[in-house]
Amino acid sequence: MIHLYHFWSSTCSRKVRICLAEKGIEWSSHHVDIVEKRENTEEWYVDINPKGVVPTLVYNDQIIIESNIIIEFLNDLVKKPELMPKDPYGKAQVRLWLDRSENTVHKNINILSWNRRHMERMSHLSHQEHLNILKKFPDPDKRFTMIKRLTKGVSETDEQNAISILTNFMDELDKTLVDSLWVVGDDFTLADIAIAPFIERFEVNKLNMLTDFQKWSNIGRWWAELQSRSSYKVAYSFEKPTSG
Ligand X SMILES: N[C@@H](CCC(=O)N[C@@H](CS)C(=O)NCC(=O)O)C(=O)O
| Residue 93 near ligand X by CB under 6 A | no
Q: Least distance to ligand X from the beta carbon of 106, Å? A: 6
Return the half-sphere exposure (C-beta side, CA atoms, 13 A cut-off) of residue 216. Answer: 24
Q: Which of residues 12-31 bind ligand X (CB under 6 A)?
A: 12
| Residue 231 near ligand X by CB under 6 A | no
Tell me how many degrees the CA angle 42-46-47 measures, rounded to the nearest 5.
115
User: With contact defined as beta carbons under 8 Å apart, do 14 and 73 qualify?
Assistant: no
**Binder to ligand X among 8, 22, 67, 111 (CB under 6 A)?**
67
Q: Least distance to ligand X from the beta carbon of 238, Å? A: 14
Q: Least distance to ligand X from the beta carbon of 87, Å? A: 26
**Number of residues lying near ligand X (CB under 6 A):** 12
Q: Which of residues 149-188 bind ligand X (CB under 6 A)?
A: none
Q: Least distance to ligand X from the beta carbon of 56, Å? A: 8
Q: Which is nearer to ligand X, 14 or 216 (CB)?
A: 14
Cis ω before 140 (30° cut-off from 0)? no
Q: Which is nearer to ligand X, 22 or 66 (CB)?
A: 66
Q: Which is nearer to ligand X, 54 or 210 (CB)?
A: 54
User: With contact defined as beta carbons under 8 Å apart, do 202 and 210 qualify?
Assistant: yes
| Residue 66 near ligand X by CB under 6 A | yes
**Binder to ligand X among 2, 18, 19, 53 (CB under 6 A)?**
53
**Binder to ligand X among 40, 108, 176, 189 (CB under 6 A)?**
40
Paired with 56 in beta bridges are 5, 65
Single-letter amino acid, residue 95: R
Q: How far is CA 43 from the centre of its chain?
A: 23
Helices and strands per DSSP (H, E), number in the chain: 12, 4
Q: Which is nearer to ligand X, 79 or 152 (CB)?
A: 152
Taking Cα atoms as reference points, which of 70, 5, 2, 1 lies closest to residue 44? 5
In whole angstroms, how far apart are CA 2 and each of 29, 74, 172? 9, 10, 35
Q: Which is nearer to ligand X, 48 or 220 (CB)?
A: 48
Single-letter amino acid, residue 230: S
| Residue 54 near ligand X by CB under 6 A | yes
User: DSSP string of 28-69?
Assistant: EEEE--SSSS-GGGSHHHHHH-TT--S-EEEETTEEEESHHH
The footprint of ligand X (CB under 6 A) covers: 10-12, 34, 40, 53-55, 66-68, 102
